[in-house]
Amino acid sequence: MMIRSGFIGLGNIGAPMARRIVDAGIPTTLWARRSETLDPFRDTAAAFATTPAELAAASDVVGICVLDDAAVEDVVTGENGVLAGAGPGTIVAVHSTVSPGVCERLAAVAAKAGVTVVDAPVSGGAGPAADGTLLVMVGGPEEAYQRSLPVLSTFGNPVIHMGPLGSAQLAKLVNNTLLTANAALGHDALELGEALGIDPDKLAEALQAGTGRSFGLGMALGFRYGPDRSGAASILLGKDVGLLARAAAAAGADTGALLELAETVLARLAHGTPPGGGAPA
């Protein structure tokens, strides 16, 4: 019997993820708070639910890709939420980047209905989502990982089972904090180059082609020269860095220079000053 998928959260990354599932021929049901986000799917084989509960009743694997902890908890446990319609054996895959504690709370409630929650955050952005090359990290029981793999592999490559519930969220938080720290180093490298009299455009070209390149450097260039020089992405990165800081403190783990570097660039952006100095455009 073919697995059935449900998907909630059709934003910048969620929409191409859902499109990959639909295009793979997996029976898919969608729900969204804003009906206009469903419009690109109206000429596809996707079905549309009126509530998350209705979606869950028609799905074996429910993917959730909404903004934050509160949004995830609301769509899963709220009135007419996923758990109101999910039957025994249903898997709820949380693709949002949230605190591990949220997944643990949801899993405890879901288990009473025979529903399994896995944390399955993704990394890569909208382009890889559309290409099916997102990194998908999964935390939870091996059996649930294997059963959800036909859905996850439509948009993910690789799809890595990180371990028990919560481990994937922690891995994603480490990843995003490392990204932010790399962006901070990229900012400082660009600033130093200018102070040394190097043409900034030529330096940017050289660094992106050299062994010092990184995804974080590309983000630094976006913050420095992009249209939104205040760095809208810093809001989400700040959330993730904060979550990792709390998780590390609770575990008594030494974060080394990682958090210090990440917080450096976030502090600059929070004050509206583009890394490298000067006023925002």
The phi and psi torsions of 274 (rounded to 5 degrees) equal -60, 135
Residue 275's pLDDT is 42
Nearest to 242, CA basis, from 261, 222, 259: 259
Structural domain span for residue 228: 170-270
Residue with tokens 């919560």: 166
**Where does a domain end: 164, 193, 212?**
164
**Where does a domain end: 164, 188, 206?**
164
Inside any domain, residue 46: yes
Collapsing DSSP to helix, strand or coil, 162 comes out as strand
Residue 3's pLDDT is 97
Inside any domain, residue 277: no
Is the distance from CB of 280 to CB of 229 less than 8 angstroms?
A: yes
Number of compact structural domains in the chain: 2
Tell me the two tokens of residue 9: 């959260």
Q: How many CB atoms lie within 10 A of CB 185?
A: 17
In this structure, are 146 and 11 located in the same domain?
Answer: yes
In this structure, are 101 and 21 located in the same domain?
Answer: yes
Q: What angle separates helix 233-251 from helix 167-195, to the nearest 10 degrees?
A: 120
Give the DSSP letter of residue 257.
T
In this structure, are 74 and 107 located in the same domain?
Answer: yes
Inside any domain, residue 144: yes
**Where does a domain end: 123, 145, 164?**
164
Give the DSSP letter of residue 280.
-
In this structure, are 101 and 227 located in the same domain?
Answer: no
Angle in degrees, CA 42, 5, 74, rounded to 5: 90
Inside any domain, residue 278: no
Catalytic residue, chosen from 112, 172, 202, 239, is 172
Tell me the two tokens of residue 203: 């330096």
In this structure, are 109 and 232 located in the same domain?
Answer: no
In this structure, are 222 and 139 located in the same domain?
Answer: no
In this structure, are 92 and 142 located in the same domain?
Answer: yes
In this structure, are 37 and 67 located in the same domain?
Answer: yes
- Which ranges of the chain have pLDDT less than 70? 226-233, 270-281
202 flagged as catalytic = no
Instruction: Tell me the pairing of strands 116-119 and 5-8.
Output: unpaired
- In angstroms, the CA 208 to CA 216 distance is 11
Residue 266's pLDDT is 86
Inside any domain, residue 275: no
In this structure, are 22 and 133 located in the same domain?
Answer: yes
In this structure, are 106 and 133 located in the same domain?
Answer: yes
Report long-range pairs for 211-216 (Cβ below 8 Å, ≥24 apart): 214/182, 214/185, 214/186, 215/179, 215/182, 216/178, 216/179, 216/180, 216/181, 216/182, 216/183, 216/184, 216/185, 216/186
Residue 227's pLDDT is 59
In this structure, are 176 and 159 located in the same domain?
Answer: no
| Residue type, position 250, single letter | A
| Residue type, position 171, single letter | A
3-state SS of 7-43 is EECCCCCHHHHHHHHHHCCCCEEEECCCHHHHHHHCC
Inside any domain, residue 95: yes
Inside any domain, residue 143: yes
In this structure, are 176 and 248 located in the same domain?
Answer: yes
The region, left, alpha or beta by phi > 0 then psi within -120 to 50, assigned to residue 168 is: alpha
Q: Number of helices (H) and strands (E), helices first, in the chain?
A: 12, 9
Inside any domain, residue 179: yes
Residue 276's pLDDT is 39
Radius of gyration of the chain (CA): 20
- Say which CATH number the domain at 125 has: 3.40.50.720
